[in-house]
Amino acid sequence: MEHEAYLTMASVESRHWWFRGRRRVLAATIRRLGLKPGAKILELGSGTGGNLALLSAFGQVTAVEMNETARSISAGQAGNAEILAGFLPDSLPLGEQKFDLVCLFDVLEHVEEDAATLEVVRRYLAPGGVAVLTVPAYRALFGPHDVALHHKRRYERAELEAKLRAAGLAPMRISFINMGLAPLAFVLRWMERTLGRDRAAGTKTPPFIVNEVFAAIFGAEAALLRAVNLPFGLSLMAVARVAE
């Protein structure tokens, strides 16, 4: 991602409905893992630090981010988290450390070597540890929005499961998320292609009422996911552990 993209992310991720809804879903998912007190948590591709407070509620966080601008921004909200410079998949300053939770939140689609990155995730998981990751869904939706955000790909559910298993990770669950707003997004993505737009939609926070309604719709999936995996949505969320 470019310097300006990180500045844009930092300006919206505390308020924008998509970030808020995703954090609510992720918080509920991690809470159900029952991590031990003082759990060691690793976030790979931590961006401008929008998830650090969320993760710090569950343990001691180490974050790795390749971009200097993003690291500088996240330092102001790091709390007790440690923020390190590093690149996926094979330039991580973590030595022989192991973690109880490894997170990649909308990171894997940015990495050319996604299979090797998932192997890195497995390598850093402690015995009994769990990985939680999110990626954009549906190859057919790939378009100007993804190009503008420097995505390499979007994922089908079966493809993500196969790549997890090939890396030695056993999925505990894979679910679509952001289901409620998917029909609207499908229309917007079609319009992007039809009109030839070349910038990412959603880089600005919408009007207050719209933003609040969208955040509530997305965030409400946290409760649904207690009972079921969602049948469709704009993103996929996977929870996995080291295969036996």
Domains of the chain (ranges; CATH) run 3-242 (3.40.50.150)
Tell me what pLDDT residue 149 has: 85
Tell me what pLDDT residue 62 has: 97
**Distance separating alpha carbons of residues 225 and 170, to the nearest angstrom:** 19
Over the stretch 91-100, which tens digit does the pLDDT of each residue have? 999 999 999 9
Tell me what pLDDT residue 229 has: 98
* Whether the model pTM is above 0.95: no
How far from 69 is each of 11, 66, 72, 98, CA to CA, in Å?
A: 13, 9, 5, 27
- Which amino acid would we find at residue 65? E
The mean-pLDDT minimum among 115-119, 120-124, 156-160, 204-208 falls in 204-208
**Crossing angle between the packed helical segments 68-75 and 3-12, to the nearest 10 degrees:** 30
The two structure tokens encoding residue 33: 């893992």
The mean-pLDDT minimum among 2-11, 134-143, 156-165 falls in 2-11
Cβ atoms of 195 and 144 within 8 Å: the answer is no
Cβ atoms of 99 and 126 within 8 Å: the answer is yes
Tell me what pLDDT residue 173 has: 98
The two structure tokens encoding residue 186: 């499908």
HEC string of the chain equals: CCHHHHHHHHHHCCCCHHHHHHHHHHHHHHHCCCCCCCEEEEEECCCCCCCHHHHHCCEEEEEEECCHHHHHHHHCCCCCCEEEECECCCECCCCCCCEEEEEEECCHHHCCCHHHHHHHHHHHEEEEEEEEEEEEECHHHCCHHHHHCCCCCCECHHHHHHHHHHCCEEEEEEEEECCCCHHHHHHHHHHHHHHCCCCCCCCCCCCHHHHHHHHHHHHCHHHHCCCCCECCCCEEEEEEEECC
**Distance separating alpha carbons of residues 229 and 226, to the nearest angstrom:** 8
Residue 4 CB coordination number (10 Å): 9
Please report, rounded to a whole number, the percentage of residues in the chain having pLDDT higher than 90. 77
Tell me what pLDDT residue 54 has: 96
Buried b (16+ CB within 10 A) or exposed e, 11-22: ebbeebbbbbbb
> pLDDT band at 202, cuts 50/70/90?
low
Q: Span 218-227, mean pLDDT?
A: 97
Tell me what pLDDT residue 1 has: 56
